[in-house]
Amino acid sequence: MEDFRIPIGEWIETVLDWIKINFAVIFDGVGTAFSALIEGLTDALLAVPEPALILVFALIGWLVRSWQLAIGTAVSFLLVVAMGQWTPALQTLSLVLVAAIVTIAVAVPLGILMARNATASAILRPVLDFMQTMPALVYLIPAITFFSIGVVPGVVATIIFSLPPGVRFTELGIRGVDPERVEAGHAFGATPGQILRGIQLPLAAPTIMGGINQVVMLALSMAVIAGFGGADGAGKEVVAAISTLNVARGVEAGLSVVVLAIFLDRVTSALGAPGDYRSSILAILRRRRANRPSGAEVTTRARV
C-alpha cells in the first residue's frame, strides 16, 4: 500500500505540457497582448504628474461617493508617494484594472448563461468551486510555464482566481429578479433579449455590482501574489522584502496595497448602490435632472 499512488499531478503536467507545445502561438499572442496592455496603462499613468493623478483619483471618489472619500483618497495616495511606493502601486493598479476588466467581460456573460440555462449552471458550478478553492499560488505554476516569468502569468492567475464571484453574483442577481416582473415583460410581448436588457440586467445591477466589487478585491489580493511570478508592482516589493527580511520595505509595500484596496473597494461598492450616497456628484446631477421636468409641471398646473 505504501507504494500505491495515483499520479494525478503528473498526468495534469503532461496535459499542460501538451497544451503548451501545441498552442504556443495562442499563448504567445495572449501574453503579448496582456503585457502590452498593462505596460501601456502603467506608462500612461506614470506619465501624468503625481499631483494631477491624485486629484483625478480624488475626483473619482467624490463623483461616485462623497467629498470625504475624495479627501481620504488624496491624503492616502500622497502617503504612498511619500513612501516611495508610487511606481509599484501604479503597476499593481494597472494589473488589477486589466485583469478585472477581462474577468468581468467573461464573468457577466457566463453568469447570464448560467441563470438562463440549468444545464450550464449544473456544469459550471463545480468548475467555479474548483477555481475558487484551489490555492491561488498553484495557478502561478502553469501560468509561468505557459507565459514565462513576468506580468502575464500574474494577470492570468488573477483572472482565474477572481472569476468565480463575478459569475456567481451575476447568476444570483438575475435569478433573484422578481419573477412577476419578468412575467410582465413576457406578458407585454418582450423578446428574451428585451427582457434581459430591459428588466433582468437593470434589476440585477446592484447584485452584479457587488460581484464586480468582489472581483476587484480578489484581483488585488491576487496581484500581490503575482509578485512571485515576477510581475512588477507592490507584490514584487513584498516578495523582495520577504527574501531580504526587510521589515520596513515590506510594511511600506503592504501599506500601499491597503491604500489601493480601500480606494477600489469604496469606489466599486458605491457604484453598486448609487442611491446610498446623496452627496456624490453623480447623485447631485441626477437630482437636478429629475427636478427639472417635475418643476415645469408644477408651474403649468399652477397656471391652470
Partner 1 sequence: MNENSSSIALSAKNVYKVFGKKPQEAVRRLKSGTSRSELAGHATAAVIDVSFEVKKGEIFVVMGLSGSGKSTLIRMLNGLWEATSGEVIVDGTSITGITPAKLRQVRSEKISMVFQHFALLPHRTVLDNVAYGAELRGVPRSEREKRAREIIELVGLAGNEQKLPDQLSGGMQQRVGLGRALAADTDILLMDEAFSALDPLIRREMQEQLLELQERFGKTIIFITHDLNEAMFLGDRIAVMRDGRVVQIGTPEDILTDPANDYVEQFVQDVDRARVLTAGNVMERPISVVAEGAGPRTALRAMRDTYSSAVYVVGRDRTLRGIVRDRDAIKLVQKGESSLASIIRPVPQAVSVDDVLLDLFVPAIESEVPLAVTDDRSRLVGVIPRVTLLAALGPGTTATGELTIPQQAVPTTVIDELLASGETDAAPAVHGSDPKEVH
Q: List residues near partner 1 by CB under 8 A.
A: 178, 180-181, 183-184, 186-191, 194, 198-199, 202-203, 290, 293-294, 297, 301
Q: How far apart are CA 297 and CA 304, in angstroms?
A: 11
Query: Please, which residue, 3 or 180, has the CB nearer to partner 1?
Result: 180
Report the nearest approach of partner 1 to the CB of residue 291 (Å). 9
Q: Cβ distance 132 to 123 under 8 Å?
A: no
CB 261 within 8 A of CB 96: no
CB of 233 to partner 1, least distance (A): 38
CB 264 within 8 A of CB 212: no
Q: How far is the CB of 196 from partner 1 (least distance, A)?
A: 13
- Bin 104: left if φ > 0, else alpha if -120 < ψ < 50, else beta: alpha
> How far apart are CB 168 and partner 1 at their closest, in Å?
23
Contact 268, 216 (CB under 8 A): yes
| Minimum CB distance to partner 1, residue 144 (Å) | 45
Q: What is the CA radius of gyration of the chain?
A: 23
Q: For residue 151, which of 7, 33, 295, 300 has the smallest C-alpha distance?
A: 33
> Least distance from C-beta 126 to partner 1, angstroms?
25
- Please, what is the minimum distance in Å from the beta carbon of residue 262 to partner 1? 29
| Closest distance to partner 1 from the beta carbon of 44 (Å) | 35
The residue (of 301 and 303) whose beta carbon lies closer to partner 1 is 301
d(CA 72, CA 80): 12
Q: Which lies closer to partner 1 via its Cβ, residue 242 or residue 296?
A: 296
Nearer to partner 1 by Cβ, of 24 and 284: the residue is 284
Nearer to partner 1, 91 or 200 (CB): 200
- Closer Cβ to partner 1, 84 or 198, answer by number: 198
Cβ atoms 63, 282 nearer than 8 A: yes
Please name the residue that has the C-alpha cell 511619500.
82
Q: Which is nearer to partner 1, 29 or 198 (CB)?
A: 198
Q: Closer to partner 1 at the Cβ: 40 or 198?
A: 198
